[in-house]
Amino acid sequence: MTRWLSARRLDTLCGQQRHQARLVHIVLILMAVYFAFIGTLNVVIFKDYNLAAMDYVGLVTACGLLGYFRHSANLKLTAWLVVISIALIMLYFVHQTGGLAYSVMWVTLLPPIAFFLLGRQSGALVCAAVFIYVGIFFYMSLPDMPAVQPSTGSLFNILEILLAHWLLFRLYERSRSEAYSELERLSVTDKLTDLYNRSHLDDLLQQEITRHHRSGQALTLVLCDIDHFKQINDKYGHLTGDVILRELARLLKGNMRGTDYCGRWGGEEFLIICPDTPANAATAIISKLQQSIKEADMTEHIRVTLSFGIATLQHGESADDQLRRADSALYEAKRLGRDRMIIAEAAVSV
């Protein structure tokens, strides 16, 4: 839904703005499609060239605003221009038809559009201005207005208005739920590596410990740390360091089983949570990972190795204790020369 703005421009918009950007886009597309369709009907079937001219002005306005938005990504100005254009077109339509054929009902579409695109305060302001104007116009024209007779035209207008309301709310709801899912994803993801972030790993670990208490299956943690990463950063620069982190994240993901969770624990540290896995099965996964890191052609052909600390949950142990043992095992792997894995010993109870 957001592919129409370039990724660079989209990055400048935060969650709520992305949602609004989608809505601006949806409203403009709907406007363009509607005016193209209804303009053609007015020319071909109803032969009402005045209304058709207005429809084509609406079509050109919608396309122009769409082009402007894609080019500038100026959300605030585009939203205002969209709402003002729609309000003007509605007012013109009310004038043109003298308020007949239920044209005034079109104005009921303004509040959802104005509120969605401009927010509560500005939306209310625009709606109040338009409603007061339409009210005065209606009041002034009332003496000359013939009684409204139900006609095909008026029925057609009412159906269109109801359909437009339904469509707007449906699309709004879809866009809102997409924005919500995106926010949810971002809240558990590390931006650089696209792996789970630390706070989500904490939650997952708690969840898996609870599951372990019910099922009794082994739960193993693997803490891994890139060897001599500072040297890589110092020699090739931080940006290259970031590329290495992303490449390693991809390899980690690629070598995990579907039931494992993998995330970024800290700067150059990763944590893998392996449910239903004893330590020896975890070592097999790590050997496979080490092999694919060895075979991978990393950026600038940099040779990268990792050290691993493995800890399987002991009876009555907490998440913190298990992590502490995995960390000690990792420390031991570093001390013994790096590029290796060490299985933590069970905690000694006193």
Ligand X SMILES: Nc1nc2c(ncn2[C@@H]2O[C@H](COP(=O)(O)OP(=O)(O)OP(=O)(O)O)[C@@H](O)[C@H]2O)c(=O)[nH]1
> Measured in whole angstroms, how far is the alpha carbon of residue 74 from the centre of its chain?
19
Closer to ligand X by Cβ: residue 188 or 281: 188
Across the chain, which distance is largest between two alpha carbons, in Å? 98
- Whole-number minimum distance, CB 300 to ligand X, in Å? 13
Q: Show contacts of 279-288: CB within 8 Å, 24+ apart.
A: 279/218, 279/220, 279/310, 279/311, 279/312, 279/343, 281/220, 282/220, 282/222, 282/310, 282/312, 283/310, 283/341, 283/343, 285/222, 285/255, 285/256, 285/257, 285/260, 286/222, 286/224, 286/310, 286/341, 288/255
- Whole-number minimum distance, CB 237 to ligand X, in Å? 8
- Whole-number minimum distance, CB 298 to ligand X, in Å? 13
Catalytic residue among 208, 247, 268, 317: 268
Does the active-site annotation cover 268?
yes
Closer to ligand X by Cβ: residue 23 or 226: 226
Closer to ligand X by Cβ: residue 107 or 248: 248
Per-residue CA distances from 19 to 67, 85, 190, 259, 343 (Å): 19, 21, 21, 32, 47
Q: Which residues, in sequence order, are bridge partners of residue 273?
A: 221, 261
Closer to ligand X by Cβ: residue 99 or 309: 309
- Whole-number minimum distance, CB 193 to ligand X, in Å? 9
- Whole-number minimum distance, CB 242 to ligand X, in Å? 5
User: Could you list the residues that contact ligand X (CB under 6 A)?
Assistant: 192, 225-231, 233, 238, 241-242, 245, 267-268, 334, 338
Closer to ligand X by Cβ: residue 62 or 249: 249
Locate all alpha helices (DSSP H) within the chain, ordered by sequence.
7-11, 15-44, 49-72, 75-96, 110-118, 120-141, 152-188, 198-215, 229-236, 238-255, 279-295, 319-335
Q: Which residues are known to be catalytic? A: 268
